[in-house]
Amino acid sequence: MLIQFNFKNFKSFRDEASLDLSATKITEHETHVVETANDKLLKVAAIYGANASGKSNVYEAFEYMTYYVLESFKFGDEDEKRRKGGDEYLKVTPFLLDENSRNEETTFEVFYVDNSEDTGRIYQYGFALKDDEVVEEWLYSKAKTARNRYRTIFYRKKGEEPEMNGFTKSHAENILASLNKESLIVSLGAKLRIEKLKKVRDWFLKNEVVNFGDPAENFLRSRVLPEDFVDSREVQSNVAEYFSSFDEAICGFVVEEHASEDEKDQDKSYRIDALHKMADVDRSAPISLKEESSGTLKMFALYPSLREVLDKGSTLFVDELNARLHPLLMRNIILTFLSPEINTRNAQLIFTTHDIWQFTNELLRRDEIWMVNKDRKGVSELYSLVEFKDEEGNKVRRDEALAKKYLTGNYGAIPALKPMAMLRRDLPDGEQDGKRP
């Protein structure tokens, strides 16, 4: 489970931001709290904020950290094209609105418990990038019984001799012999099949990062089939049952393989029809999945990620979860993660949203609701509702009408609106007030 995600100097976040999923001492919704590794953690975090406030940058920071962990073993000095702007290398973007920050390093760090280990061991892993170079990287771990004492597995910093205490001599030599300035030790070590580094890489690999604010990603994901969907009637039945949680009309699927007209094309393509119950007779009618509503296609696209993280007890990080979804359907997804009976492996859901209907103490704890506010200098700030204090130092009470107070600006993180006077069309004299000559 993710305990904490910290980042600094990334896009609109100049200063350090911390998304902390440790449960605070508030007492509402105590069933939302999971006890693990001598800590109390939360399974859900909802992130609110105005358009252009930077809330998607929280998602993008986690996405970028994941990308760099999984891919940086490929980066190297010998491949100038890739390093300098090839498709596979994405240079980190610092805060660009002041001269100091644009020339400083960007940092990413996670604290987490690996649910697959069942040991309660906590890992602290992070790195710092500047331009196209790793200037610092660290990995520490703490046993469940070790209280606050972390053990150094490795630590590297530009210009200093690396500490490789957690490796055999041969593993340390292999890593240092292959390491270059763009690559992470975790990424390279996983590629070299060093088990303790592979486990860190795999923790990121098991998480799902989904951007439903991106139309292209929406389109591609809606055409990705769940694992074994083509050949397994059981999987098709499970997907149909999943659909029935919000649309009972779909009762099954028909899958037909289409051969490519190009003999050199070895990729298989499929036509998928959703079977709909007919109103007047006791049978079903096929409708092409492509013709379903955008909301249905989104739910189809979301199914593999939901199945994956719930099976593995990993983390699903979604940008714009509410896009094209009815508020009740979105609430059902949240309740799935909050349910101990369904979410038996303590998977986590972190999402950005504008859906005010979920902004309520009837559904979420105050430490599960997060806000992103951007000031006049363009600097974004991340804070939870339980941390927030008004100008007089008052905290948010558990019995407040949260949505109403949020929309009236009590907690910040809303747009500062002005009349759109620039859209007014000035009429010629004599045509004002609807009068025409």
Q: In terms of domains, do 7 and 153 share one?
A: yes
Residue 36 lies in a domain: yes
Which of 163, 120, 170, 105 lies closest to 139 in space, CA to CA?
A: 163
Strands 2-8 and 17-20: antiparallel
Predicted pLDDT at 77: 57
Q: In terms of domains, do 114 and 196 share one?
A: yes
Task: Give the whole-angstrom CA distance, residue 46 versus residue 321.
Answer: 10
Contact 27, 360 (CB under 8 A): no
Residue 406 lies in a domain: no
Q: In terms of domains, do 94 and 236 share one?
A: no
C-beta pairs of 225-233 under 8 Å, 24+ apart in sequence: 225/270, 225/272, 226/303, 226/304, 226/307, 227/304, 229/253, 229/255, 230/255, 230/257, 230/270
Residue 396 lies in a domain: no
Residue 350, phi then psi, degrees to nearest 5? -120, 130
Task: Give the whole-angstrom CA distance, residue 75 versus residue 67.
Answer: 12
Predicted pLDDT at 81: 46
Query: What is the domain extent for residue 281?
Result: 227-299
Residue 415 lies in a domain: no
Q: In terms of domains, do 32 and 77 share one?
A: yes
Predicted pLDDT at 220: 82
Q: Last residue of a domain, which of 369, 384, 399?
A: 384
Q: In terms of domains, do 278 and 353 share one?
A: no
Give the number of C-alpha atoms closer than 13 A to the C-alpha of residue 403, restricted to the C-beta side.
Answer: 11
Q: In terms of domains, do 267 and 324 share one?
A: no
- Return the CATH number at 377: 3.40.50
Q: In terms of domains, do 325 and 274 share one?
A: no
Q: In terms of domains, do 233 and 163 share one?
A: no
Residue 417 lies in a domain: no
Place of tokens 């209907």: 357
Q: Last residue of a domain, which of 249, 268, 299?
A: 299
Residue 309 lies in a domain: no
Predicted pLDDT at 391: 86
Q: Which residues pair with 287 in a beta bridge?
A: 274
Model-level pTM? Answer: 0.90
Residue type present at position 84: K
Which pair of tokens denotes residue 251? 């009762």
Task: Give the whole-angstrom CA distance, residue 405 versus residue 355.
Answer: 15
Q: In terms of domains, do 170 and 31 share one?
A: yes
Total count of domains within the chain = 2
Torsion of CA 249, 342, 297, 302, to 10 degrees: -170
Residue 111 lies in a domain: yes
pLDDT < 50 positions in the chain: 80-87
Q: Last residue of a domain, which of 274, 299, 324?
A: 299
Residue 403 lies in a domain: no
Which pair of tokens denotes residue 341? 């009976």
Q: In terms of domains, do 133 and 33 share one?
A: yes
Q: In terms of domains, do 158 and 233 share one?
A: no
**Segment (H or E) for 17:** strand 17-20
Q: In terms of domains, do 324 and 347 share one?
A: yes
DSSP 8-state assignment for residue 395 = B
